[in-house]
Amino acid sequence: MKAKGWQQVFKFTFLQMIKSKSYIISTIIIIACILLMSLGANFLPGLLMGRDNDKEPTLEEVGVISPFRIDTIYLSDRSSIEPAPYYGFLTAYNIDVVMISESEVEAITEKVRTSLEAIGLIEVIAAEYGYDVIISRPEFDGLLSTANFNTISEMLNNRVWRAHMISIGVPEDSIDDISIYVNSQITIAGETPRNEMATMLANSIIPMVSSMVLFMFIFMYGSLTAQAIATEKTSRVMETLLTSVRPMAVILGKVLGMGLASFTQFFALVVAGFGISAIVAPFGTLGQVFGSVEIAVDDVQMHMVKTAFDEAFSGFNPLSLIWIIVIFLLGFFFYSLIGGLFGATISRIEDLQSALTPMSLIGVFGFYLAYVSPAFSIDSEEVNIVQRFSYYFPISSPFALPGVIISGEMNAVGALISVGFLAVCCVLMLMFVSRIYETIITHTGNRITLKAMFKMAKGK
Partner 1 sequence: MSLIVDNLVKRYGEFTAVKGLSFTIDKPGVFALLGTNGAGKTTSIRSILGMLSREGGTVTWKGRALNTTEERVGYLAEERGLYAKYTIHEQMMYFAELKGLKKNKANDAINFWLDRLGASEYLKKRAETLSKGNQQKVQLAIALISDPELLILDEPLSGLDPVNTDLFRSVIRDEINKGKYIIMSSHQMPTIEEFCTDIVILHRGEAVLQGNLNEIKKGYGRVKLSVKADENILPLALECGLEVVQQTPNGTDFRVGNPVQAETFLKKAIEGGITLVKYELREPSLHEIFVEKAGGDTNEG
Footprint on this chain of partner 1 (rule: CB under 8 A) = 2, 4-5, 8-9, 12, 16, 20, 232, 235-246, 438-439, 442
Write the DSSP assignment of 226-248 as a string of letters.
HHHHHHHHHTTHHHHHTTTS-HH
Q: Are β-strands 72-78 and 96-99 bridged in parallel, bridged antiparallel, or unpaired?
A: parallel
Q: Give the nearest distance from C-beta 264 to partner 1 in angstroms.
A: 19
* Continuous segment of H or E residues that includes residue 96: strand 96-99
Cross-strand pairs, 99: 75
**Residue 142 vs 459, nearer CB to partner 1:** 459
Sign of the alpha-carbon dihedral angle for 271, 273, 279, 284: negative
- For residue 101, count other CB atoms closer than 10 A to its CB: 10
Q: Phi and psi for 138 in degrees, rounded to 5?
A: -65, 150
Q: Give the nearest distance from C-beta 8 to partner 1 in angstroms.
A: 5
**Residue 184 vs 240, nearer CB to partner 1:** 240
Which amino acid is it at 438? Answer: E
Q: Phi and psi for 293 in degrees, rounded to 5?
A: -90, -30
Counts of helices then strands in the chain (DSSP H, E): 21, 4
Q: Rounded CA gap, 373 and 386, in Å?
A: 6
Q: Give the nearest distance from C-beta 247 to partner 1 in angstroms.
A: 8
Q: Residue 135 in 3-state DSSP?
A: strand
Sign of the alpha-carbon dihedral angle for 304, 309, 315, 316: negative
**Residue 51 vs 246, nearer CB to partner 1:** 246
Q: Give the nearest distance from C-beta 47 to partner 1 in angstroms.
A: 43
**Residue 194 vs 246, nearer CB to partner 1:** 246
Q: Are 257 and 12 in contact (CB under 8 A)?
A: yes
**Residue 253 vs 403, nearer CB to partner 1:** 253
Q: Rounded CA gap, 63 and 60, in Å?
A: 5
- For residue 269, count other CB atoms closer than 10 A to its CB: 18
**Residue 185 vs 235, nearer CB to partner 1:** 235
**Residue 22 vs 184, nearer CB to partner 1:** 22
Q: Give the nearest distance from C-beta 329 to partner 1 in angstroms.
A: 24
**Residue 232 vs 294, nearer CB to partner 1:** 232
Q: Give the nearest distance from C-beta 239 to partner 1 in angstroms.
A: 4
Q: Give the nearest distance from C-beta 62 to partner 1 in angstroms.
A: 56
Q: Phi and psi for 296 in degrees, rounded to 5?
A: -95, -35
Q: Give the nearest distance from C-beta 211 to partner 1 in angstroms.
A: 32
